[in-house]
Amino acid sequence: MSPETSVTSVQKLLGYMAVIVGVFMAITGILNSAPTFWIIPRVGPFPEALIRSLILLPSIFIVLVRNPISTVVSEKFPQTKPFAWIIDVVIMLASLWVFWSYQDVLMRIEEGLFDLEFIHPIIALTACTIFIILCWRVWGAPLGICGIAAIFYLYTGEYWPWIFETAPIYFIESSEDLWFNLNDGVLGTIMGILIFTVFPFILLGVLLEGTGGGRSLIKVAFHLTSRYRGGPAHAAILASGLFGTMSGGAVTNVVATGVLTIPIIKKRGFNPAFAGGVEATASSAGQIMPPIMGAAALVMSDFTGISYLTIILAALIPALAYYASLFTSVVFEARRLGIEAVPDMEEDLAVNSQDYINLIMVFVPIGIVIIALLNGFSAAGSGLMAMYSIVPLSFLNPEIRKKPYKIILAFAKGGETFAHLLMAIGVVGIIVAVLGTTGLPNDFAQVLNDMTGSHLFPVLFIAAIAALMMGMGMPTLPAYLTIILIMGPSIQNLGVSELVAHLFVLYYGVASSITPPVAVAAYAAASIAGAPPLLTALYALRIGLVKFIVPFAFAFYPVLLLVEESGVKFDVWEFSSAICRLMIVIYLVSSATLAFDQRRLPAWEIILRLALALLILITIMWVHWLATGFALLFLFWHYKKYKQN
């Protein structure tokens, strides 16, 4: 047997093992979070320390199989190729060591007094190094660099100037801050939220994709929008919003829906970069669309103590407003290109009765989540009940009846998806531990408030920029968690409610996936569209510009969030005023960014529309009503003068 054949055989074996381990993770996660239901007793939850090891050790194995470090090393240093695999083995063995030590130390702490020794910070730093390396391998450099900077700051903070100066950190005691506890650190509260609450919803989204419901959803969306000018572009927005709320990741959503939608959008006559931009923008926004919100609402609920139902209700109006802006942008682009409605469907996207049957797999689980929450089930329990429903419902699809093993493969994919996400969350845990130990967020909040006085806008602007920068190239959840930990106190000190602060940061974390230069969702769409990546990202940014405005709208007009947790009581007049003006802002901004309404817009009209949009959102009553009246008159004049052309 040749060396190449031997390597291929080993890779295949490891691939099969990764699938088995992924299924093991899925089953473990289900048993851990499953509630008591009817006559079925509850197995979990497992001890908190044990479940972390049972999930994270398999996760590290999966990541090393699917994204081996040895591949990178052998590419850069070809002479090391025959023995580069040793690096992966060493990382896996080191992982076994640090998790065994973790279990051992926590058991000793529970049994009585236990003194940490010099070896324990070595163990903690080894664990941190493993997560940083694997996070860098899977998600790129930004978050990994942040993790390295956090550890460096932890041990050198006493020598830093100004607010960054900290009390001395004792090397041995730092091991407890980083590793040996269940509150902060790599394996702390945030990791627990992901394992206990988010994992079931990730499995739910992957099952939806793997059992055929997602494809039927796209086909029906094409059917419903075929008579509109935007046609397939509108279909992409509709399908990506519904699918994205359950899939939980912008890139995942782009790949799942874009392979169908983008080629049809191009065929209708839209620019390839525009086609990719529409798909990227709509896919990323699935994470702000209730009821699932790509699991972000689940983390937010556990993090803030605000009920899950309250959060998804609060997120509803901003999400609908944003998707309305996407539909509006497509209309303007279709007008600009002179594209008319073409009712004829693509042959391979023609809707049949089976597609409508498959939609049961989409809407029944969503309904179960909502009903279960209303009846007092936990978020994790509701997600699991919805997931249980998909398994028998999937047999409505003849493809699953022919190949039922696809359900097992979907569970394996869910485990693998979660494994990759946990590498990023591990690094976020490092950052959380350092911030908690040093107290930097509170010091930063005090200085920022002293600099900005009682002015909310500059603090929100800084938070927005920070969220965009932190979110570039990393999953939304880690970006959201990192920024809210740093900027949350500053925003809330100015009278903004906790709910508004969290939603504001989440929106900008989501927006980072379409923001150049590291617009990961746009680049994924560009590869499908065959368009220049940066041009696709710029189109996505233009189409999705309202995503950057909506958070400021609900920060200054929290009544848009509908719930008292926003900081204000619901008032019909204030809500009507805010939502009507927001709709006008959406129209002005969408037309200005695409430079078209009833005709191509000259530069002065673009500037005027953007200026009016800004003035309409100002909280001073006479200013925003004067701007609103002028905007309506201006749009009426534009319509009457240029409609015939």
DSSP states of 49-72: HHHHHHHHHHHHHHHHHHS-HHHH
Give me 617's structure tokens.
């959102």
Sign of the Cα pseudo-torsion (415, 421, 427, 430, in order)? negative
Q: Residue 600: beta bridge partners?
A: 596
- pLDDT for residue 294: 65
Sign of the Cα pseudo-torsion (458, 143, 291, 497, in order)? negative
Higher pLDDT, 500 or 78: 500
Q: What secondary structure letter does DSSP report for 493?
A: T
pLDDT band at 388 (very low <50, low <70, confident <90, very high): confident
Higher pLDDT, 342 or 359: 359
Higher pLDDT, 592 or 353: 592
* Residue 494, amino acid: L
Burial class (CB in 10 A: 0-12, 13-18, 19+), 645: exposed
Spatial neighbors of 429 by CB under 8 A, at least 6 apart, are 131, 184, 185, 186, 187, 188, 190, 191
Spatial neighbors of 590 by CB under 8 A, at least 6 apart, are 325, 328, 329, 332, 545, 546
User: What are the Cα distances from residue 107, in Å, to 47, 75, 111, 184?
Assistant: 11, 43, 6, 18
- pLDDT for residue 197: 78
Residue 584 CA neighbour count, 13 Å, CB half: 25
Q: Report the pLDDT averaged over residues 351-372.
A: 81
pLDDT band at 38 (very low <50, low <70, confident <90, very high): low
Give me 571's structure tokens.
């008032």
* Residue 454, amino acid: S
Lowest mean pLDDT among 49-63, 123-137, 210-224, 505-519: 210-224
Task: Evaluate whether 435 touches 399 at the Cβ level (below 8 Å).
Answer: no
Give me 262's structure tokens.
């983008």
Task: Evaluate whether 560 touches 318 at the Cβ level (below 8 Å).
Answer: yes
- Whether pLDDT at 576 is above 90: yes
Q: Report the pLDDT averaged over residues 123-150.
A: 88
Q: What are the start-end ranges of the H helices in 1-84? A: 3-33, 48-66, 69-76
Q: Report the pLDDT averaged over residues 48-73.
A: 89
Distance CA 318, CA 551 (A): 8
- Whether pLDDT at 329 is above 90: no
218-222, 233-237, 504-508, range with greatest mean pLDDT: 504-508
- pLDDT for residue 129: 93
Among the listed residues 440, 429, 482, the one whose alpha carbon sits nearest the alpha carbon of residue 127? 429
Distance CA 5, CA 135 (A): 30
User: What are the Cα distances from residue 643, in Å, to 541, 561, 629, 635?
Assistant: 28, 36, 21, 11
Task: Evaluate whether 561 touches 308 at the Cβ level (below 8 Å).
Answer: no
Which residue shows structure tokens 């699953």? 400
Q: Report the pLDDT averaged over residues 150-179.
A: 85
Residue 599 CA neighbour count, 13 Å, CB half: 14
- pLDDT for residue 57: 93
Which residue shows structure tokens 């979990």? 44
- pLDDT for residue 323: 87
Query: DSSP assignment of 104-144, as one string?
Result: HHHHHHHHS-----THHHHHHHHHHHHHHHHHHHHH-HHHH
- pLDDT for residue 627: 94
- Whether pLDDT at 232 is above 90: no
Distance CA 214, CA 257 (A): 8
- Whether pLDDT at 128 is above 60: yes
Among the listed residues 442, 483, 543, 462, the one whose alpha carbon sits nearest the alpha carbon of residue 142? 483
- pLDDT for residue 515: 81
Q: Report the pLDDT averaged over residues 30-50.
A: 76
Q: Report the pLDDT averaged over residues 270-281.
A: 86
- pLDDT for residue 644: 58
pLDDT band at 348 (very low <50, low <70, confident <90, very high): low
Q: Tell me the per-residue pLDDT of 169-202, one tens digit each, with 9 for 90 and over.
A: 888 888 888 888 877 788 888 888 888 877 887 8
- Whether pLDDT at 344 is above 60: no
Spatial neighbors of 189 by CB under 8 A, at least 6 apart, are 182, 183
Q: What secondary structure letter does DSSP report for 600?
A: B
Distance CA 71, CA 67 (A): 8
Task: Evaluate whether 237 touches 444 at the Cβ level (below 8 Å).
Answer: no
Q: What is the mean pLDDT of the chain?
A: 83
- pLDDT for residue 357: 83
Give me 446's structure tokens.
């005090």
- Whether pLDDT at 230 is above 90: no
- Whether pLDDT at 289 is above 70: yes
pLDDT band at 126 (very low <50, low <70, confident <90, very high): very high
Q: Report the pLDDT averaged over residues 86-100.
A: 92
3-class DSSP assignment, residue 40: strand
Spatial neighbors of 451 by CB under 8 A, at least 6 apart, are none
- Angle (CA) 146-449-614 rounded to 5° is 90
Distance CA 516, CA 539 (A): 10
